[in-house]
Amino acid sequence: MSHRLILLPGDGIGPEVTAAARKVLDASGAELDWEVHEVGQLALAAGARAPLPAHVVDAIAECGVALKGSITTPPDRSIPSVNIALRRELDLFANARHIRRLPGAPGLHDDVDLIIVREATEDVYAGVEYPSGSPAARELADFVRARGGVLPGEAAVALKVTSPGGARRAFEFAADYAERLGRHRLTAVHKATVLPGTDGLFVEVGRDVVAGRPGLDFDSMAVDAMAAHLVERPGELDMLVAPCQYGDILADLGGALVGGIGMVPGVNFGGTHVGGVSVFEAAHGSAPRQAGRNRANPVAMILSGVLALRHLGEDEAATRVEDAVGAVLTAGCFRTYDLTPGRTGLGSVGTEEFAMAVVRAIQDDC
């Protein structure tokens, strides 16, 4: 059975790592019908009027599955963020990052195998932000002071947004995802002692959702305690569910435990259930300074492809790829610069060379 799969190469190192992942996935035994669309800076360079053309959004919505390379958002916001636009246009409300220590990969613990799910449309990432000195910020300061609060008139303000509906669908998704993957415990990450209105609501909704799932356990932990727990005893954790900012930070911390962010795959989900729109992507950014140097680690993108294969029901092909990546890392002859001792890059190989080593490992095992 052939599977249609949208490919967004992205920019920066995106085209290199997606090309590497595509070679590996094509060798997996799954029949994939790739449909490539340019977005971001490459789309503009090709003459598109916007960094996220409408036909690309339509194609992903129709197909339901996409593999996305990293996309650069200029610091000066001269080009609108494609990442944010995709999230809004496709209602990608949940992000899941899989953090697992692979055989042969560097890391601080051997038993790391957890998933971090974050709600992706609310919290301080909701985009409700007012610059210092703006009329809206001053009006908000007046509103707060009139009710006994403290907010300097020249303060820049970003609102932390948590709605019962937003928290509920994030936890319902996480519970569905946990049951699908054989996970048994959801841990809500929060700072409810300081933010009882927002984080307290998040935990309350999570407890209510899991109460209706007899196969799942529920607990909660403050985000600062969770950061320490991740460093000290990550093997005790199963699936974390967090508001957007906490989840983003903790996922990067988790990446450092398993060889770096270049080892962490991820997926963004939209729609009302696990089978809705799914956009698979590596957890790392576009690293523009590394672009075109055949240096980037493609493992996170390859493993994002593994998640896509499992989503498509191609479990045997997914396992074949995952085992091949582990075999290459264990052999130790092919490592990108970030996986070398001390990150010196001595004896390292390039993006394409690593990918071809994985392809050969797949072929040798067939």
Question: How do residues 331-363 score in pLDDT, each as one tens digit?
Answer: 988 999 888 877 777 678 999 999 999 999 999
Instruction: Judge residue 143's burial from the number of C-beta atoms within 10 Å of its C-beta, 0-12 exposed, 13-18 middle, 19 or more buried.
Output: exposed
Run of H or E including 143: helix 135-146
User: pLDDT tens digits for 273-288?
Assistant: 556 899 999 999 999 9
What count of residues does the chain have? 366
Name the residue ranges covered by the structural domains of the chain.
Answer: 1-104+259-366
| Class of 1-104+259-366 in CATH | alpha beta
Between CA 208 and CA 212 the distance in angstroms is 7
Q: Which residues of the chain have pLDDT under 50?
A: none
The confidence score (pLDDT) of residue 132 equals 93
The confidence score (pLDDT) of residue 149 equals 87
The confidence score (pLDDT) of residue 346 equals 65
Active site residues: 125, 191, 224, 248, 252
Q: How many CA atoms lie within 13 A of 235 on its CB side?
A: 6
Pairing of strands 278-282, 65-68: parallel
- List the end-to-end C-alpha distance of the chain, in Å, as a whole number: 19
Full-model pTM: 0.93
